[in-house]
């Protein structure tokens, strides 16, 4: 079965550079979520989109932005990168907006971003 | 602030034994509590959820218990197997957001 696809898997950037992370949800899933996970930390919710509109916002820095496109894929744009942005970035998708649907999120394998 | 957290950061069990992973939460308004499993190098994987008006829910080899009086959530894994080795996170939903707690690393000894 198709899963959530994230690209790239690894990304190395320098401070003050920009990065773009991509996420392709499971086919027919209409909701995409972005999380940031630091080393040894729990995933922190950043932002989510439902039907191409932002649905919820978490602890996403102003330097970051995201959007969901007409084919439901999503991109997380990160500017003025800082050392502290080094982390695993996960994308997840789900189908529908009901509470139980949101509980069951399917995660991708993540993008490991290293800022040097 | 509101948070979900775990009592024990690590748990080591013998293969075949039962495992119990605990979690304390502070937000009484959450509708659902969920357990996720994260294997090394992978994203979290949904295990089981429980609605806040329930106190027990069973899945395949897993049982989640919810005690709202003391704001405590636990995940019981029966007959733990090497493949169960992973970090386990409890989480709660607030609106459309999953709020994860600190993970517990489960290590299964053969």
Q: What average pLDDT score do residues A87-105 get?
A: 86
Reply yes or no on whether the pLDDT at A98 is more than 50.
yes
Question: With an 8 Å Cβ cutoff, are B96 and A97 in contact?
Answer: yes
Strand order in the sheet with A64-68: A5-7, A19-24, A74-78, A64-68
pLDDT value of position B1? 37
DSSP-derived letter for residue A101 is: H
What count of other Cβ atoms lies within 10 Å of the Cβ of residue B1? 4
What does the DSSP assignment read for B30-61? Answer: -SEEEEEEE-TTS--EEEEEEETT-SEEE-SS
Interface test with B, best of A25, A42, A50 (most B CBs within 10 A): A42
Question: Residues of A with CB below 8 A from B47's CB?
Answer: none
Interface test with A, best of B96, B100, B104 (most A CBs within 10 A): B96
Question: Residues of B with CB below 8 A from A48's CB?
Answer: 96-97
pLDDT value of position B8? 47
Confidence label for A91 from pLDDT (cuts 50, 70 and 90): very high
Report which secondary-structure segment, H or E, holds B24. strand B19-25
pLDDT tens, position by position, A11-65: 999 999 999 999 999 999 999 999 999 988 899 999 999 999 999 999 899 999 9
Q: Which residue has the higher pLDDT, B6 or B46?
A: B46
Pairing of strands A53-57, A44-50: antiparallel
Which of these ranges, B3-7, B13-17, B97-101, has the smallest mean pLDDT? Answer: B3-7
Q: Which residue has the higher pLDDT, A33 or B25?
A: A33
Angle ∠(A17,A19,A25) on CA atoms, nearest 5 = 170
Q: What average pLDDT score do residues B79-90 get?
A: 96
Reply yes or no on whether the pLDDT at A112 is more than 80.
yes
Q: What average pLDDT is seen over chain A?
A: 94
Q: Which residue has the higher pLDDT, A1 or A41?
A: A41
């Amino acid at each position: 079965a198709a899963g959530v696809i994230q690209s790239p898997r690894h990304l190395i950037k320098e401070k003050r550079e920009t990065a773009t992370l991509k996420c392709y949800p499971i086919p027919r899933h209409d909701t995409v979520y972005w999380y940031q996970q630091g080393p040894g930390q729990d995933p922190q919710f950043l932002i989510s989109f439902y039907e191409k509109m932002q649905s919820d916002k978490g602890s996403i820095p102003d330097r970051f932005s995201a959007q969901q496109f007409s084919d439901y894929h999503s991109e997380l744009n990160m500017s003025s990168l800082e050392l502290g942005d080094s982390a695993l970035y996960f994308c997840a998708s789900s189908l529908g907006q009901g509470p139980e649907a949101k509980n069951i999120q399917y995660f991708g394998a993540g993008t490991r971003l290293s800022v040097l | 602030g509101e948070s979900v957290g775990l009592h024990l950061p690590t748990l080591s069990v013998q293969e075949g034994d039962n495992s119990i992973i605990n979690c304390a939460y502070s937000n009484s308004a959450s509708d659902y509590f969920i357990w996720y499993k994260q294997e090394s190098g992978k994203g979290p994987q949904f295990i089981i959820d429980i609605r806040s008006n329930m106190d027990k829910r069973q899945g395949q080899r897993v049982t989640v218990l919810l005690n709202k009086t003391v704001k405590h959530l636990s995940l019981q894994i029966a007959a733990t197997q090497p493949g169960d080795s992973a970090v386990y996170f409890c989480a709660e939903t607030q609106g459309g957001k999953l709020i994860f707690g600190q993970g517990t690393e489960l290590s299964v000894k053969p």
